[in-house]
Structure 1
């Protein structure tokens, strides 16, 4: 579908998604349909400034309504956005997604507008036939739990702001309908707080999610700033913290990400204790590895024991969180089949199933057989 023309539905797109949904249902798979994953039409950036514009928020609401009407008879689980913080960071802070700007004030406005767009889509959904038939809607957030370097008050304060900006800026509006008080205070003092209206804030307050999807890959370790903040590029959240490389940390060298499975337990307990124990699931977790062909054995499948170990450790910590009362209903690996990335195409492979780009042949990795047995045995 294409939602830059509100009076037109792209029929080829509708046919494609109908076929995918119908095949899922035929195979006994319950789809969770996501409305936005870094794919706003370029025309909306060029014409209106993309997510800087509240007109685009309104267009997204119309798009969402059309999707509910077209697919809501079969799709019961929906999410408004996948990883909206990546839109904020990639497009307006760190230059890794189009339009590649460095503008902290615009970043904060986009953060607000994405929260508003999500709430307005939820408002439309809850009035739809799909909701009346038991459908539900949530949001998928990429969380990087922030840990302080030490118990020193300045390190704790640095990690607190990092947590508020990176995680709570979407978690709190989605679940509680309000923005984190400390975040609003700091952004206002820094002169970068978003523009809002009482009517918009009321929409955010009254239209919260039914469930959460949480993507977890790595933690964020913060310390108090030890060097003066360089304000030559304007405001950045790093004004209030610096990243900290913990000695002895485990790393995935292919992604440059720390491996810290316990954070998935910390997320589970945070949902239980601070987010009303809302239903949630791990919507992404996984290990990307470059050059996996070197691990292919004589029988023709990739022996990815490193992926099995990664998943096992995360599932053990997730199970502990569930055993202690966290309301988690699922775990999705990123990804079942090696997939394309926005930034590096097929460089890093994540799947249970390997994909040969030349022949399109798919072969199950050792981890694929392992997860099959885990599912069959309800554990390991």
Structure 2
């Protein structure tokens, strides 16, 4: 039996844009996803857009009952910025009423809400002013954060500012998976810098509004493993970690941007525009906890033909195809649960053993109906095996002193996933797209046992 610490959080993670639905109703204005689907629907899998998704807006009470039914004691989701502040300034009373009903229902069913503020859903009114490239985005986000804290402080004890801030940077400004689908390394760095400052400004606002809750940030962590111990491969791995892990984790927990990262940016003419007051904002406003999303490792080797100055991150390192890897064929991602132990040790040894939790971990599978039994239940033993392996390595890290307080799977109910729509399913509950009916999968019943036993 692998027992976990007392009061361990067993839960799931979701987001407003991927589950809420009612994307153009009840006072909400457009986000980049609404706009992109309207202007380029062919980019979206099976033309599945953001309007309805999982329709949590109309099913939240049923969902809270279902959370309780499978033993979840916590759930992370997000508020839609464009719903709460449709023009960036004016509070939408319909949004306030909805979120208060939703968060209250969670609490009534024994589920602690962990509420995130931004999950890739930039409002179009902000994009019209330059989006995250415009320094005004910092104050705009801080105002939104303060508004949310003041409106929901009595219902929410744990807040986070951004989910995977690096993803909205690289997908929007390097790899064309998010709108505005720009490919420009220097602009990407500027967007990342403003995002970091917006996070810090939100933490500052939180400390001014309340002294009772906790605030953190959700970061995606793909530990880097080098092909070999040669100097060139090790340097490639170090640069990968600088860009992909330490760029946000160091400022969030330690209050510093790594000197090595600043040198790398300067050498490659990538430094963002800054102001003198930024240093104090970054140095202070340290998070109370960290959420870390882990799905797959990053394996790299030295770049054979780097460009100088660098035009893309892979000018600093290139992928290494490890011949012994296991792959989830539906996502093309490596399955490497051992990395979760390495993450636990990284937090213990390099980040003052700051309280943290696994804020996302899961397995996306296409055509899950092929695993449906005669009773109509998805027998997702592959997902149970995936979680067991990862939890085993997490348990080892906790036993060795890492200060981890929870595990959240992605996700509670099958959700819409950006350009991929509903291609890959992740939920404890299956979603019927025609009826929006929810039905528990085998993994949901397994999670109930894990939660009740506080281990497995």
Residue of structure 1 equivalent to 2:352: 276
Residue of structure 1 equivalent to 2:376: 300
TM-score (norm 1): 0.96
* Cα drift, residue 136 of structure 1: 0.7
* Cα drift, residue 321 of structure 1: 0.4
* Cα drift, residue 337 of structure 1: 1.2
8 Å CA contact 2:120–2:168 kept in 1: the answer is yes
Match of 2:161, SS state, is strand
What is the distance in 2 between the residues matched to 1:96 and 1:359? Answer: 29
TM-score (norm 2): 0.80
What is the distance in 2 between the residues matched to 1:6 and 1:301? Answer: 43
What is the distance in 1 between the residues matched to 2:101 and 2:143? Answer: 23
* Cα drift, residue 230 of structure 1: 8.8
Q: CA RMSD in A?
A: 1.3
8 Å CA contact 2:293–2:361 kept in 1: the answer is yes
8 Å CA contact 2:203–2:215 kept in 1: the answer is yes
* Cα drift, residue 54 of structure 1: 1.1
8 Å CA contact 2:306–2:316 kept in 1: the answer is no
- Give the one of 216, 225, 230 matched to 1:138: 216
Residue of structure 2 equivalent to 1:115: 196
Match of 1:245, SS state, is coil
8 Å CA contact 2:237–2:300 kept in 1: the answer is yes
Which consecutive residues of structure 2, in runs of 5 or more, have no partner in the other structure? 1-82
- Give the one of 13, 22, 27 matched to 2:109: 27
Match of 1:99, SS state, is coil
- Residues 309-361 of structure 1: CA deviation (Å, up to 9, x unaligned): 10000000000000000000000000121111112111101011111111222
8 Å CA contact 1:305–1:366 kept in 2: the answer is yes
- Give the one of 202, 214, 218 matched to 2:292: 214
What is the distance in 1 between the residues matched to 2:87 and 2:297? Answer: 40
What is the distance in 1 between the residues matched to 2:256 and 2:432? Answer: 47
**More relative contact order, 1 or 2 (CA 8 Å, 6+ apart):** 2
Match of 1:31, SS state, is strand
Residue of structure 2 equivalent to 1:223: 301
1:41 aligns with 2:117: no
What is the distance in 1 between the residues matched to 2:454 and 2:125? Answer: 48
1:3/1:60 CA distance change after superposition, 3 Å:
farther
What is the distance in 2 between the residues matched to 1:7 and 1:259? Answer: 44
1:297/1:18 CA distance change after superposition, 3 Å:
same
- Give the one of 196, 219, 225 matched to 2:274: 196
1:228/1:181 CA distance change after superposition, 3 Å:
closer
- The count of residues paired between Structure 1 and Structure 2 equals 374
- Give the one of 84, 88, 106 matched to 2:169: 88
What is the distance in 2 between the residues matched to 1:257 and 1:142? Answer: 14
* Cα drift, residue 368 of structure 1: 1.3
8 Å CA contact 2:268–2:308 kept in 1: the answer is no
